[in-house]
Amino acid sequence: MKKIVMKFGGTSVGTGENIRHVAELVAHYARNDCKVAVVVSALAGVTNQLVDIAEQAKKGDEKKMQAFTKELAERHVTAISKAILNKQLQKETEKVVTSTISELNKVLTGICYVGELTPKSRDYVLSFGERLSAPIVCGALKDSKFEAQFFTGKDAGIVTDSNFGEADPLMDYTAHRIRLTILPLLEKGVIPVVTGFIAADQDGVVTTLGRGGSDYTATVLGVALAADEVWIWTDVDGIMTTDPKIIPSAKKLPRLSYQEAAEMAIFGAKAMHPRALEPVIKAGIPVRIRSVFHPDNEGTLITKEPEIKPTEVVKAVALIKDVAMLNVSGGGMVGAPGSYAKVLEVLGKNDINVMMISTAVSEANMSLVVRRSLLSRALSTLEIALLGRGLVSEVTAEDDVCVIAVMGANMQGTLGVASRLFTTVARAGVNIRMIAQGSSELNISFVVKEKDGETAVRAIHEEFKLDKA
């Protein structure tokens, strides 16, 4: 009997009807020789709404907050009525949802009065999306006559560090605990339904694994339960040559190596959380990305050894928005050992993650890419720490840019990929602002103006015939 961890993203559980469909999918596999553990995200859009309302609460807007929780309750109660038919189960699930929302109300009221939102309290607020969706999925499974049990990530045994907002599970301890809580149920044929995205630190304080973190929960569970495969169910057929929302003719990539898929996730293919593959790589557990809307399609299979088509040079291209570019320059950096390190150290100490770096041979200039939301902090920190000390004379920024990342394992050692790539972009009339190529040669990334992003992606997709993949 196969053991499969199945994760359903927000788009798969957007409405009560969709939740019912998810329950039917799980039921199908549970009836056909599979032991299934389910991981579930918040209903589509709910986490974004929680991010917003937490900010509103900080500003003391109690009225908005009351209106929000009322609407949230209505949306979930409607979903229950569509996802679950049995009246008794409906009632039980409603009770869980109502008491969870009243807890959320108290938390938000607290934030309203204190006027302070810390990373810790923000994680607590964000945890409510999954705490509301998972009981409904659990109820829908019970409605299909399965024994199912609902767990928060914390109750399931996922213990993380205290890096609120981007926490990482303490893998050995977590695996040990999950084997105590979840494994016995699975063996008995009960379907555990675990909230994605949320966990707790060693003191039991709620943490989140970073946006899109339900994927990470699924792979952590997969490793702990020694699953045969982890399936990430979503709204597209798999990992594609580019975001199908930008280029509808994008093709599914049937096989990818862990390395290729991780590279794509890190470089912005939203299809997967950037750190989600870390646990399974070590354990060698295959991951499959597939669509709830086309369950017959086998999706993208991610394993250690993909079947590489030798002719394929470029496999995929991603567009990463919401970034900004910083230029640090100064004659004092020339020939001064440790000058680049100093810039990175200043940013690192202030929790500003650098996504790309490029330097000129003249050593008088360093370009960096960071998330756009971090730009003002990055600018002010660099100015405070570096200006007027003889090293750096100017720090400038461009916030209307995007990154284009071109990926493929066969780019390694293939001559001329870069020149073909940049010729294509130039021919499309797009100016390149900055270039970086990691030494792995799995990826070439460059920065263009945001308005040119889609044009460049389209031109590359066409030139490397990705729609014919």
* List of residues contacting ligand ASP (CB under 6 A): 9-10, 41-42, 47, 129, 196-197, 211-214
Number of chain positions touching Mg ion (CB under 5 A): 2
Residue 124 vs 216, nearer CB to Mg ion: 216
Residues contacting residue 233 through CB under 8 Å, at least 6 positions apart: 6, 7, 8, 9, 12, 22, 25, 290, 291, 292
301 phi and psi angles, rounded to 5 deg: -100, 125
Cα distance between residue 300 and residue 257, in whole Å: 10
Segment 255-274, which members bind ligand ADP (CB under 6 A)? Answer: 269-271
Residue 71, Cβ neighbours under 10 Å: how many? 11
Nearest distance from C-beta of residue 240 to ligand ASP, angstroms: 19
Q: What DSSP letter does each residue of 357-423 carry, written as one string?
A: EEE-TTSSEEEEEEEGGGHHHHHHHHHHHHBTTTSB-EEEEEEEEEEEEEE-GGGTT-TTHHHHHHH
Nearest distance from C-beta of residue 425 to ligand ASP, angstroms: 32
DSSP-assigned beta bridge partners for residue 432: 448
Determine if 129 is a binding residue for Mg ion (CB under 5 A): no
Residue 11 vs 303, nearer CB to ligand ADP: 11
Cα distance between residue 18 and residue 261, in whole Å: 27
- Of 80-88, 173-181, 238-246, 355-363: span binding ligand ADP (CB under 6 A): 238-246
- Of 184-192, 228-236, 373-381, 415-423: span binding ligand ADP (CB under 6 A): 228-236
End-to-end CA distance of the chain: 34
Tell which one of 14, 212, 306, 330 touches Mg ion (CB under 5 A).
212
Nearest distance from C-beta of residue 334 to Mg ion, angstroms: 44
Tell which one of 130, 229, 243, 263 touches ligand ADP (CB under 6 A).
243
Determine if 212 is a binding residue for ligand ADP (CB under 6 A): yes
Residue 69 vs 234, nearer CB to Mg ion: 234
Residue 59, Cβ neighbours under 10 Å: how many? 12
CA angle 228, 234, 237 (to 5 degrees): 90
Nearest distance from C-beta of residue 174 to ligand ADP, angstroms: 21
Determine if 10 is a binding residue for ligand ADP (CB under 6 A): yes
Interface residue list for ligand ADP (CB under 6 A): 9-12, 41, 212, 234-236, 239-240, 242-245, 269-271, 316, 318
